[in-house]
Amino acid sequence: MADEAHLKALVLRGLAGDEAAHRAFLTEAAALLRAYFRNRLRGAREDAEDLVQETLVALHTRRDSYDPNYPLTAWMYAIARYRLIDFLRRAKHRAHADIDGIEIGEADPDYEASDARRDVATLLDQLPEKQRRAIQLVKLEEKSVREATLETGYTESDIKISIHRGLKTLMKLMGQEQPT
């Protein structure tokens, strides 16, 4: 079984252009993901294997989003967890789904989508204009970085850096909030 340092080394070599290292990472990640999904979907081997493949595709296509300052397996399992939640929602296993202590089911009637939008807007308002605008365009409105540059007049680097710094600041802001 692969360890964190070994996997991280493979990913970093893969990001640097070493295709063999990237293939080795995906192979070793597949073994870890297979165990992860099989433990959560007992008796549904085909579904577990489908989720392994979906997650490997996501790891491959989103590999540039990995930040080497953070643990690789945390990034990898976060992607896997979102794939599992999506699967459970699609499969309508809502009543009995418990992922890492979080019940997956119907939306909380006391927490409306408008509340979420208001919370996001409140957090975004705490960012500098450049970061706020970049995040709104690329992350919320799902425009490409190129489209955002045309709309704002910023360079692509400015947009990418603003998004990175803005998201980092948002994570800090969310971490400082006290649960009510």
Q: Is 70 exceeded by the pLDDT of residue 101? A: no
Residue partners of 171: CB distance under 8 A and separation at least 6:
none
With b meaning 16 or more CB within 10 Å and e meaning fewer, what string describes 125-137?
eebeebbbbbbbb
Average pLDDT over residues 44-52: 88
Residue partners of 14: CB distance under 8 A and separation at least 6:
21, 22, 25, 63
- Tell me how far apart the terminal alpha carbons of the chain are, to the nearest angstrom: 41
Residue partners of 83: CB distance under 8 A and separation at least 6:
51, 54, 55, 58
Phi-psi region of 91 (alpha: psi -120 to 50; beta: other; left: phi over 0): alpha
| Domains delineated in the chain | 4-103 (1.10.1740), 113-176 (1.10.10.10)
- Which range scores top for mean pLDDT: 98-102, 114-118, 156-160, 169-173? 156-160
- Residue 2's pLDDT is 55
Are the C-beta atoms of 37 and 84 separated by less than 8 Å?
yes
Q: pTM of this prediction?
A: 0.51
Query: For residues 58 and 80, what is the distance between their CA atoms, to the nearest angstrom?
Result: 9
